[in-house]
Structure 1
Amino acid sequence: MRAQLVQKWRPPLALVLGGGLAGTLILSLIGLIALRYLGPEIGFRNAAFLLGTLILLATSFLGWLLIRLLLSPIRALNAYAAQTRSHPGQTIDPPEQSGTVELHNMARNVVDMAEHLRNREMTIRSFTDHVSHEIKTPVSAIRAATELIEDGGALPPEDRALLAQIDGAARQIEEQLTALREVARAREMSHQGSSKIDAHSNRLQEEFADLGLSLSGTDLLFPIGESGLKIILVHLLNNARDQGAQRVDIAARLQPTGLELRVSDDGPGISPGNAAQIFDPFFTTKRAKGGTGMGLTILRNMLSVHGGDISLHPSKRGACFVISFAAAPSR
């Protein structure tokens, strides 16, 4: 059951702002009038000190009301949204302070939206697991049957070739099911923290020495943990190697719109027809080599959890992938 925001009377935003402005104006007028009449009685210096103290106390009370009704609820809602984003699979308690009527309604809509997204992710994960389980059972039976037939005695070459095709198709289905589960898991996976390319540069140079890596902007901080950044870099470098690239440039830089990571190679590139489909699930040009066509889909889902995105940019030679993280809003 979703936690409900506490129901109580809340002033409208117009009343809070209007009351604050009216209170400030009234205090100023009262001060002038009181100083006019108190000055001759107790002295203008004493009257000014007394009125200044009273105005300071009254203004402090108005400031406390504005903080309680506006600033604190906005901060609480911002903290709730940040926790929901960093822990997508967990249930986060809604903010207790909701201030005015407008802020309360906005907070309730944000909580409802977060719950809706959480339920949708859980539904996708549950459906994926259920479908994978239901299909895996008959596939396992097919593979077991092919093994029994092969062990049953000598078979003509035609029959043996047919069994090999059946077994290969069963293996391919199992690989696709595994990739499908990884895609659903990537939408929930959260690589917390931040990281720099520096943390992986030595290992990448060793593991991909045949690619002639060029790294720049390695000291820039990405809003994703080291494990997530490693998955991104390793996958793109493996793709470049599989395509026959000899050199890969990895460049991170700050842009007006945020942080950008550009991975470009000197391979044969991606044809215009394939470029429009490379992020589609199950699309691959390496099916015969065991490719599932889910790698880039997994990367895109994982990046979306951390406010990032991946896209293919036009390049004169080879392929150029750009990972972008939007700039954090100014405080």
Structure 2
Amino acid sequence: MTALALPLAGLFFFRIYENQLIHQTESELIGQSAVLAMVMRREIEAGVSTAVPLGVEAPTPAAAEPYEPIMPTLDLTRDELLGRRPESQPSPAPADPAFVALGARLAPDLAETQRMTLAGFRLLDPNGVVIAGREEVGRSLANIEEVTEALRGRFRSVMRLRVSKHEAPPLYSLSRGTGVRVFTATPVVVRGRVAGVVYASRTPSNVFKSFYDERGKVAAAGSTIIGLALLIGFVFQRTITQPINELRRRTAAIARGDRTALRSPAHYGTAEFAQLSQSFLDMAAALQNRSDFIATFAAHVSHELKSPLTAIQGAAELLRDDLEAQERKMSDADRRRFLDHIVADTGRLTAIVRRLRELARAEGAATGGVTTLAAAVADLGCAFPALRIHSWGDLTVPIRMSVENARVVFAHLADNAANHGATSLTVSARLQGEAVCVTVQDDGPGVSCANRAKIFYSFFTTRRESGGTGMGLAIVRAMLHAHGGSIDLAADGADPPRGAAFVVMIPEAECNPRSA
């Protein structure tokens, strides 16, 4: 509809086209008047005695040029539209007989010219008296301003209001040019003086008549516009409307929990809509995975908390029953054993809660800051005196992680190694593309083949009896993911495994002096 409405919004085109018709009419009148002025000048030079008085002296051209063109200058939007042409006035003195005879000779030529060109012509003597024309012969037009200007030797063209005898159709109200008539007054200069004026007028062609005359082309243009509008509508429907509707349906389906709606759409539309749709589906998939993770994580947490809570409840109920019994049967050793179980399970619950808090901080850790591996591993020796810490490689390369977060990562890896019986820990680093590849190797018992796929699962631990929570590596992975990094267990083909080796990827900071 917008495309079809554009031609209607372009009605100002009528003004441009009407202005062109005004220019065309003025140009034609200039050419026709120039020919009649030449004929009139030749007749005056040949048939009018030098004793007959001529008009005022004509202005001398500024420079002698081989051509003196008169260009059309009228403009509908700029020039004033004058009123109806004033009526002719009685002549204060009759025209000279020589000019009257000249007018009689040229009158048939004027009538034939008007019949062919539809223009009206008046030939005036040096005083502005009409000497030839269908009407007003013998009357003066010197009172009309364009004629007054021509009698002074200067060409003048004006637009005047045209009052037709017939009422215009309603559609013509859109056109301003239908009520305009163009007038030109061309001086006839003989022997350097104004010897007469060719006064011409004509109504410009009507814009609607021009369209009717070109109705075949107008119909072709209209058909082209309609065809283009239909094509644009089809393209918009395929590239915008259909992808939007598809994305809306996918949104409603995903809100209902339909996982099949996460597949790629059949029609992407434009490149921008393709990116928008893919970004939306990626976001929805990430939220779905996050939801699944939260559900699984909640199940693991409830399972981990249930065991110590059940043990604490059972021990407390036994102690209470023994306390309420008439004859106590539980010995002090049994009572202490149950109390020790309660304290141990309470400690395990405290450790789980602390690890959960650390995991939450790791997933929401601030990702700003820059440090080096040297600064991150500097304090490991003091924090873990049972481990011999060795480090080498590109330890001074800046990494995109604050020193506090880096210490958390390597402290958990060192704690994991120490708790599994390692006595030494080696940290090596090397640049790999735009990241720093860090290998953390210990000399402990390593990871068995059965456990390699599960060590990063939350709450998976082989030290549950000794207080392990299975949250350390999960915290490390969450912290690295928050900074755009990763951690993986290095491949180990030895049997039995020779220690555990982790490969940590940390993005290199942009302020690396080597790349400056």
Which stretch of structure 1 is more off in the superposition, 163-172 or 255-264?
A: 163-172
**Which of residues 197, 218, 221 in structure 1 aligns to 2:373?**
197
1:106 pairs with 244, 267, 275, which one? 275
Alignment partners' CA distance in 1, 2:291 and 2:457: 22
2:58 aligned residue: none
Q: Which residue of 2 aligns with 1:252?
A: 429
Q: Deviations over 1:5-58 (max 9, x none)?
A: xxxxxxxxxxxxxxxxxxxxxxxxxxxxxxxxxxxxxxxxxxxxxxxxxxxxxx
**Counterpart of 1:214?**
390
Q: CA deviation at 1:323?
A: 0.4
Alpha-carbon displacement from aligned partner over 1:63-112 (angstroms, at most 9, x marks no partner)? xxxxxxxxxxxxxxxxxxxxxxxxxxxxxxxxxxxxx9422541464266
How far residue 182 of structure 1 moved from its aligned partner, in angstroms, is 4.3
Aligned Cα root-mean-square deviation (Å): 4.2
Q: Which residue of 2 aligns with 1:76?
A: none
Aligned length, in residue pairs: 230
Counterparts in 2 of 1:240 and 1:126: CA distance versus 1, 3 Å:
closer
Partner secondary structure for residue 478 of structure 2: helix
Deviation at 1:173, TM superposition (A): 4.8
TM-score normalized with structure 1 length:
0.54
Structure 1 residue 293 corresponds to structure 2 residue 470: yes
CA distance, structure 1, for counterparts of residue 281 and residue 474 of structure 2 = 28
Distance verdict in 2 for CA 1:163–1:277, change over 3 Å = same
Cα 1:140/1:233, change in 2 over 3 Å: same
Provide the rounded CA distance (Å) in 2 between the counterparts of 1:132 and 1:320: 28
State the SS of the aligned residue for 1:213. strand
Q: Match for residue 323 of structure 1?
A: 504
Higher Cα Rg, which structure: 2
Change (3 A) 1:118 1:197: same
Give the share of equivalent positions with the same residue, in percent: 27
For 2:401 and 2:383, locate their aligned partners in 1 and report how far apart those are by CA, in whole Å. 22
Counterpart amino acid of residue 318 in structure 1? G
Residue of structure 2 equivalent to 1:283: 460
Determine whether 1:273 maps to 2:461. Answer: no
Partner-residue secondary structure (3-state), 2:279? helix
Higher helix proportion:
1
Deviation of residue 284 (structure 1)? 1.1
- Check whether the contact 1:128–1:181 (CA below 8 A) recurs between aligned residues: no
Shift of 1:250: 0.7
Match of 2:400, SS? coil
Cα contact 1:220–1:252 (8 A) shared by 2: no
Q: In structure 1, what is the equivalent of residue 362 of structure 2?
A: 186
Q: Is residue 308 from structure 1 mapped to residue 485 from structure 2 by the alignment?
A: yes
**Secondary structure at the residue paired with 1:259?**
strand
Residue 103 of structure 1 aligns with an amino acid whose one-letter code is E
Q: Which runs of 5+ in 2 are unaligned?
A: 1-268, 510-516
After TM superposition, the score normalised by the length of structure 2 is: 0.37
Q: Distance in 1 between matches of 2:338 and 2:443?
A: 40
Farther-moved stretch of structure 1 (166-175 vs 237-246): 166-175
- Letter matched to residue 194 of structure 1: V
CA contact (8 A) 2:312 2:345 kept: no
CA contact (8 A) 1:240 1:265 kept: yes
